[in-house]
């Protein structure tokens, strides 16, 4: 990852953190003082290196871990703010990054609603977190993982 790609990735993550929305290539270009084509090339390079994920066939950000740019079943809340996470792991990572809050999801086995709360660095909740895919295989199908 070169210096420009680091800037693009940082801008994507900061925008997701601040607004819960991914910036477009045009928005990133304006922020970084460059062209949309340069940003698009950087985004594709970052995706190829598994630094973020793009929506298939586009230069639109889908995921910049731990944030999801699309609605998911993992909803993180801190006060009145809300973000989507890609999985349980990412939801807890958002809370670790941003502070105390809740992560709402549901049991994949039963559909039952589940809430995990983080307060003062401790996780509280009724449920068991089970990762179906081993970490070494996450990028085999990052959308499923």
Q: Which residues of the chain have pLDDT under 50?
A: none
* CA-to-CA separations, 6 to 3, 97, 109, in angstroms, rounded: 5, 19, 39
44-84: per-residue pLDDT in tens? 999 999 999 999 999 999 999 899 999 999 999 999 999 99
Cα–Cα dist 55/70, whole Å: 10
Whether residue 78 is found in the same domain as residue 36: no
Contact 25, 15 (CB under 8 A): no
Residue ending a domain, among 40, 64, 88, is 64
Query: Which position has the token pair 């998911």?
Result: 72
Whether residue 25 is found in the same domain as residue 60: yes
User: What pLDDT does 104 receive?
Assistant: 94
User: What pLDDT does 145 receive?
Assistant: 58
Whether residue 83 is found in the same domain as residue 57: no
User: What pLDDT does 64 receive?
Assistant: 95
Q: How far is CA 35 from the centre of its chain?
A: 25
Domain total of the chain: 2
DSSP of 53-71: EEPTTSSSEEEETTEESS-
Whether residue 60 is found in the same domain as residue 12: yes
Whether residue 104 is found in the same domain as residue 78: yes
> 25 in a domain, yes or no?
yes
Terminal Cα-to-Cα distance of the chain (whole angstroms) = 24
CATH number at residue 16: 1.10.10.10
> 20 in a domain, yes or no?
yes
């Amino acid at each position: 990852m070169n210096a420009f790609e680091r800037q693009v990735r940082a801008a994507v993550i900061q925008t997701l953190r601040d607004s819960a929305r991914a910036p477009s290539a045009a928005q990133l270009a304006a922020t970084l003082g460059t062209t949309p084509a340069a940003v698009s090339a950087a985004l594709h390079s970052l995706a190829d290196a598994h630094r973020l994920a793009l929506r298939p066939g586009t230069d639109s950000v889908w995921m910049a871990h731990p944030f999801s740019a699309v609605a998911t079943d993992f909803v993180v809340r801190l006060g009145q703010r809300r973000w989507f996470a890609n999985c349980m792991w990412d939801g807890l990572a958002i809370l670790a990054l941003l502070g105390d809050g809740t992560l709402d999801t549901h049991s994949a086995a039963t559909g039952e609603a589940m809430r995990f709360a983080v307060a003062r660095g401790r996780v509280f909740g009724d449920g068991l977190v089970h990762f179906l895919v081993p970490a070494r295989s996450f990028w085999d199908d990052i959308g499923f993982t």
